[in-house]
A and B are shown apart, each in its own frame.
Chain A
């Protein structure tokens, strides 16, 4: 694997542009149909609309007739793709060759889960697609038709609309990044009425070759458009970070946002990175004898129940925030509209930078807490020596 990944760094150079005849969906599906027909892969993990309902779910598609209900970019993200993929590939040895079509944030979650041994990537082809974002789940459930329509308009124009999920509005990693994440990327940006297939690994290249595509079309146009949008969205993200850092600059500001929490743990269940079998905060470990609560209540004057509501968020944050891919699934799942995704994404931004770590960027980057670097955080451990070293380096 490691050898391949070194090569992967050179990707992508060129791509394969395909004209859009009927619709983008149709063009993309034709590729997958061909791949299934020719047994290039045996099954495809893809979002689909459950017939006769407004619900979206993941299906492991093997019967081609089901492409009728599949949707590469549904208006909402119901279940995070990383979670869906982990649920069937955790125990390894798939036996079948599987492709998964994911949003970039979902693929990043898959890479993080891969490092935690929660998915198996042998025999797995990760395919990502330029993502215009998704609509808030609650809005969609209120009026599915209206929201689906406005999503269609937003996605056609790549608009950074206020009606998108906050996570999507502030997302600057909606496309292919310079790393060893997905094997294949589907570029929608760039020339109108064209879909660009971009191999991002030897496996991706292999897939294109097997499909009979030669990667020789220029990526310049896609790159220019992508970078333009990345710039725009990075700016948006920075203003979001600034605004929220200001809001939460003291602990009260931070906790006030969480005060509405009803302790349902939906955020945890929706989070792709929260992979524990049983959360400590759902276990008996946090329960004490009544007399202890009475005593605490006497000491403090009163005790708020359920206990550990705040501690749950802080605990969850400290456990997973270095791997937080800012997908916003937690915020979508919150029944009381706590901006939990924004809080986590904001904290994640800062902590991840401390370790020069971008979750989901490279398969081979180790998780920051699993490795020890002597010079890391030297400003905390040995500030004097650290300063000396820095001045020496300047000299």
Chain B
């Protein structure tokens, strides 16, 4: 088949002709051997422009098309689609960026024109070596893997599960509920003593579309939106070590948080001194309705120490102020004579109801003491002394009981899962969202979402909202019956050159390459490969090529650009 190339120069309004002499470009390009036609158009990406392009491709019976216009990031897909509509293979198309890389870069018109000509010629030479790649379509799997059975994971599972969609909910401990399940009561303005978590767990257990794996870990995840393969390993007694392979279309990480280990900093005396308890232990006391000292007596005075671990970790954990206020209210309501002191670095009262909740505590006689840092918590006779510093002045309070509110830190599995899924972590070790403001539950891995405290400290309503957001993202992309188009420009391995050294396995970001021990060669899973080309560069034997970035294509392009 004779190659007939069409070159289309887009003016992009005034953007390109202001700096590039398009007539000269046309004149230069017309003399190239395989170029059948060179045309200019005012705005090729407009509806009229696309119509013109389609009709012209058909009229000239073109086999290859080069469009010289803006950045391929902007309109490569647009024009590939037009080529396809005109009956061409869309991969026999090449986009040349003469706007950002020529017109906007070079003030001198002659220079910009000559660079544009070189670039377009390079594109023409490259496109001659393009292969007509075929787009495949894959059925999507609409099921979802939710990792973490805390309130965020539960809510995501409940809002996603349906007759068309199975949810696999994996929890590492032996029961659902997570941290929220350990709380005695939700804050009063959020409805006091709601059995929210319990009810939710019941709903999960009664939902036939949610498969719960307790005492289990996710060992492997690979794939992309619509097609993930995961391995869940059970640590349950009598099922220990049993691995189950599941296929899903999306992954939700709801791995939550852990409490800062108070033993890490000896000033708190935690674990050493009697009646110095952590917030979670105090929650248990409330739960059992037994606020008692070790000797069985009721405390006469309690210090609630905020911000433990805040300096070490470098962030505010956001929820501690409110739950210590909750403790203060509880103490005042249930032990009317108790003296309650709250020691805080900064108060975090961001929600509309928080201020009045704080004011009410004050009215009940809770004393609020500002401090820079706890210096030492120590035993002094029957009492416990909390020594602190405020504005370089040392001071202390003497109480019967100390409740410490530790910072929220990433759960143990975070770094392991980040490695498994190639996800970035932020400075404090929590998962990092794709964009804090604009895409707060997405990740750089398409089809992997994060919700709740896995992203950092937040309260239950916020976690719920995020789980709903995550569900929204998944419901709008994983529609039953829809097909996904996997990357076409993938890598391929030439078996007779591959020595099986497996270097490519170690550099593949997506886990798309495996080793075939029978043939002694590496194999690319085209459904997972994203065509990044890392393996191509790493192969010591030159056995791997990227289908749309072959040696000859690049060579021709570079040689022509440098001519």
Q: Within A357-385, which residues are at the interface with B (CB < 8 Å)?
A: 367, 369-371
Whether A92 pairs with B551 at a CB distance below 8 angstroms is no
Kindly state whether residue A255 has any CB partner on chain B within 8 Å.
no
Residues of A within 8 A of B520 (CB): 90-91
Question: CB distance B501 to A117 under 8 Å?
Answer: yes
Chain A residues with Cβ below 8 Å from B541 are 276-278, 280
B500 CB contact (under 8 Å) in A117, A280, A283, A369? A117
Q: A276-B540, A278-B541 are contacts. A370–B499 as well, Cβ < 8 Å? A: no
Counting CB contacts under 8 A, is B506 at the interface?
yes
> Contact between B499 and A275 (Cβ–Cβ < 8 Å)?
yes
B507 at interface (Cβ–Cβ under 8 A)?
A: yes
Residue of chain B at shortest CB distance from A318:
B540
List B471-508 residues whose CB lies under 8 Å from chain A: 496-503, 506-507
Nearest residue, chain B, Cβ from A91 = B520
Query: Do the beta carbons of B542 and A285 come within 8 Å of each other?
Result: yes
Complex Cα distance, B499 from A92, in Å, reads 13
Residue B517 is within 8 A (CB to CB) of chain A in the complex: yes
Contacts of B499 in A (CB 8 A): 116, 118, 275-277
CB distance from A114 to the nearest CB of B (A): 11
Decide if A370 touches B503 in the complex (CB within 8 Å).
Answer: yes
Residue of A118, A276, A370 touching B506 (CB-CB under 8 A): A370
A277-B501 CB under 8 A given contacts A90-B520, A91-B520, A285-B551: no
- Does A242 interact with chain B (Cβ within 8 Å)? no
The answer on a CB contact under 8 Å between B497 and A92 is no
State whether A118 touches B551 (Cβ < 8 A).
no
Complex alpha-carbon distance, A276 and B494, angstroms = 13
A319 within 8 A of partner (CB): yes
A43 to chain B, nearest CB (A): 22
Nearest CB on B from A287, distance (A)? 12
B497 touches A276 (CB 8 A): yes
Q: Is the CB of A277 within 8 A of B540?
A: no
Alpha-carbon distance A369/B501, docked complex (angstroms): 13
The A127-149 residues at the B interface (CB cut-off 8 A) are: none
How far apart sit A163 and B497, CA to CA, in the bound complex (Å)? 40
B503 with A277: CB separation less than 8 A: no
Nearest CB of chain A from residue B279's CB, rounded to whole Å? 36
Please give me the residue from chain A that is nearest to B543 by CB atom: A277
Q: Assess whether B517 is in contact with A92, with CB atoms less than 8 Å apart.
A: yes
Could you mark each residue 540-562 of chain B with 1 if its beta carbon is under 8 Å from any beta carbon of chain A, else 0? 11110000000100000000000
Find chain B residues with CB under 8 A from A275 CB: 499, 501
Q: How far is B520's CA from A371's CA once the two chains are assembled, in angstroms?
A: 23
Please name the residue on chain B nearest to A278 by beta carbon. Answer: B497
Which of B496, B500, B507, B543 is in CB contact (< 8 Å) with A370? Answer: B507
Minimum distance in angstroms from A237 CB to a CB of chain B = 27
Q: How far is the CA of A285 from the CA of B554 in the complex (A)?
A: 13
- Taking a contact as CB atoms under 8 Å apart, the answer to whether B502 and A277 are in contact is no
B502 — which chain A residues lie within 8 A by C-beta? 116-117
Residues B542 and A277 in contact, CB atoms below 8 Å apart: no
Binary interface encoding of chain A residues 202-234 relative to chain B, with 1 for a CB under 8 A from any of its CBs, else 0: 000000000000000000000000000000000
Chain A residues positioned under 8 Å from B506 (CB to CB): 370-371
CB distance from B398 to the nearest CB of A (A): 42
Residue of A nearest to B496 (CB): A277
- Assembly CA distance A285 to B498 (angstroms): 16
| A90 contact set on B, CB distance < 8 A | 500, 520
CA of A116 to CA of B540, assembled, Å = 10
Q: A residues 95-154 with Cβ under 8 Å of B?
A: 116-118
CB distance from B554 to the nearest CB of A (A): 13
- Which residues of chain A (293-331) have a CB below 8 Å from chain B? 319-320
Give chain B residues whose Cβ lies under 8 Å from the Cβ of A320. 540
CB distance from B277 to the nearest CB of A (A): 40
Q: Which residues of A contact B497 (CB under 8 A)?
A: 276-278
CA distance A288 to B501 in the complex (A): 29
Residues in B493-535 with C-beta less than 8 Å from chain A: 496-503, 506-507, 517, 520
- A contact residues around B496 at 8 Å (CB): 277-278
* A283 / chain B contacts, CB cutoff of 8 Å: 542
For B498, give its contact among A116, A277, A367, A370 (CB under 8 Å). Answer: A277
Docked pose: A116 CA to B501 CA in angstroms: 5
Q: How far is the CB of B183 from chain A (nearest CB, A)?
A: 40
Q: How far is the CA of A280 from the CA of B539 in the complex (A)?
A: 12
A91 to B551, CA, bound (A): 30
A285 contact set on B, CB distance < 8 A:
542, 551
Closest-CB distance, B108 to chain A (whole angstroms): 27
B503 to chain A: closest residue by CB: A370
Separation of A320 and B499 alpha carbons in the complex (Å): 14
- Write the nearest CB–CB distance from B117 to chain A, whole angstroms: 20
Chain B positions within 8 Å of A276 at CB level: 497, 499, 540-542
Compute how far the CA of A90 lies from the CA of B543 in the bound complex, rounded to whole angstroms: 18
Question: Are A116 and B503 in contact, with the CB atoms below 8 A?
Answer: yes
**Cα distance A189–B497 in the bound complex, in angstroms:** 44
Measured between beta carbons, the chain B residues less than 8 angstroms from A117 are: 500-502
User: How far, in Å, is A392 (CB) from chain B's closest CB?
Assistant: 18
Q: In the complex, which residues of chain B have a beta carbon less than 8 angstroms from the beta carbon of A371?
A: 506
Q: Which of B498, B502, B507, B542 has the most CB of A within 10 A?
A: B542
Specify which of B498, B507, B538, B542 is in contact with A280 (CB 8 Å cutoff).
Answer: B542
Q: How far is the CB of B361 from chain A (nearest CB, A)?
A: 45
Alpha-carbon separation in the docked complex, A170 to B135 (Å):
58
**Neighbouring A residues of B540 by C-beta, 8 Å:** 116, 276, 319-320
Q: How far is the CB of A2 from chain B (nearest CB, A)?
A: 16
**Complex-state Cα separation, A91 to B543, whole angstroms:** 19
Name A247-288 residues within 8 Å CB distance of B. 275-278, 280, 283, 285
Q: Kindly report which residue of chain B lies nearest to residue A367, judged by CB atoms.
A: B503
Closest Cβ of chain A: how far from B505's Cβ, in Å? 10
- How many Å from the CB of A246 to the closest CB on chain B? 31
Q: How many angstroms between the C-alpha atoms of A90 and B521 in the bound complex?
A: 12
Name which residue of chain A comes closest to B507, CB basis.
Answer: A370
Contacts of A278 in B (CB 8 A): 496-497, 541
**Within A47-105, which residues are at the interface with B (CB < 8 Å)?**
90-92
Most buried by A among B496, B500, B540, B543: B540
CB of B539 to closest CB in A, whole Å: 9
**CA separation between A280 and B517, bound complex, in Å?**
24
| A206 → chain B closest CB, angstroms | 27
Which residues does chain B contribute within 8 Å of A367, judged by CB atoms?
503
Cβ A118 vs Cβ B498 within 8 A? no
A116-B520 Cα distance, complex, nearest whole Å: 12
Expressed in whole angstroms, the Cα–Cα distance for A76 and B29 within the complex equals 64
Q: Which residues of A sit under 8 angstroms from B538, Cβ to Cβ?
A: 369-370
Contact with A along B158-192 (1 / 0, CB 8 A): 00000000000000000000000000000000000
Nearest B-chain residue to A370, judged by Cβ = B506
Question: From residue A190, how far is it (CB to closest CB) to chain B in Å?
Answer: 39
Chain A residues within an 8 Å CB radius of B500: 90, 117-118
Select from chain B the residue with minimum beta-carbon distance to A113.
B501
The chain A residue sitting closest to B559, CB to CB, is A292
Q: Report the Cα distance A275→B541, complex, angstroms.
A: 8
A92 vs B540: C-alpha distance in the bound complex, in angstroms? Answer: 21
Query: Could you tell me the distance in whole angstroms from the C-beta of A319 to the nearest C-beta in chain B?
Result: 5
* Chain A contacts for B507, CB-based, 8 A: 370
Bound together, the chains give a CA A278 to CA B551 distance in angstroms of: 17
Q: Which of B21-79 contact A (CB under 8 A)?
A: none
Q: How far is the CB of A285 from chain B (nearest CB, A)?
A: 7
Most B C-beta atoms less than 10 A away, residue of A91, A116, A117: A117
28 contacts between A and B (CB under 8 A): A90-B520, A91-B520, A92-B517, A116-B501, A116-B502, A116-B503, A116-B540, A117-B500, A118-B499, A118-B501, A276-B497, A276-B540, A277-B496, A277-B499, A277-B541, A278-B496, A278-B497, A278-B541, A280-B541, A280-B542, A283-B542, A285-B551, A320-B540, A367-B503, A370-B503, A370-B506, A370-B507, A371-B506
Starting from the known contacts A277-B497, A283-B542, 7 additional A-B residue pairs (CB-CB under 8 Å) come to: A276-B499, A276-B541, A277-B496, A277-B543, A278-B497, A285-B542, A370-B538
**Which residues in B have some Cβ–Cβ distance to A below 8 Å?**
496-503, 506-507, 517, 520, 538, 540-543, 551
Report the 5 A-B pairs with minimum CB-CB distance, sorted nearest first.
Answer: A276-B541, A116-B501, A370-B506, A280-B542, A117-B502
